[in-house]
Structure 1
């Protein structure tokens, strides 16, 4: 396989793993807020998300540090995307008002 293609696929796999991990974290926090046993939700979610993510990193890397690095970069890029997508309108307005106060 072409090395560039392998790195791009590793990056995409990392983005998918990141979307799963951080999207699952967001879902878990929302679910645990209304649950009668939030600790169970958080702990089980942690085990599932970490297990799936670490297994994904293991198989994507395939003993190549460059593919692992591309996967981790995709993972953290997905983190920023999930953070942007899951903001509430109040957080967006608060952030804009803070930026307006710091303008020269």
Structure 2
């Protein structure tokens, strides 16, 4: 296989692994907030996400550090994307806070 193609495929695989890991983290936190046993959700999700991600990195790298690095770059880029997509809406920093109509 062409080396450039292998690096691009490793980058895509890293992005998919990152989307799975960090998207799963976001989903887990939402579920755990409404659960009677949040620790079970968080710990179970951690084991599943880490297991899938580590196995994916191992398979994608195949013993080549360049593919591992490419996969890691895709993983970190997916983290940035998921963080941006799941962010709470920011308040307008130029807007002044309203003053109270009554005395404290």
CA distance in 1: counterparts of 2:22 and 2:4, whole angstroms: 27
Q: Deviation at 1:28?
A: 0.4
Backbone CA RMSD of aligned residues: 1.3
Report how many residues are paired. Answer: 95
Aligned pairs for 1:82-93 (under 5 A) are 82-89=82-89, 92-93=90-91
Task: With the length of structure 1 as denominator, give the TM-score of the two structures.
Answer: 0.88
Of the two, which has the highest radius of gyration?
2
Q: Deviation at 1:2?
A: 0.4
CA distance in 2: counterparts of 1:25 and 1:76, whole angstroms: 14
Question: Deviations 1:28-65 (Å, cap 9, x if unpaired)?
Answer: 00100000000000000000000000000000000000
- In structure 1, the partner of 2:70 is 70
The structure whose residues are more often helix, as a share, is 1
Task: With the length of structure 2 as denominator, give the TM-score of the two structures.
Answer: 0.88
Spell out structure 1 runs of 4+ moving beyond 3 A: none
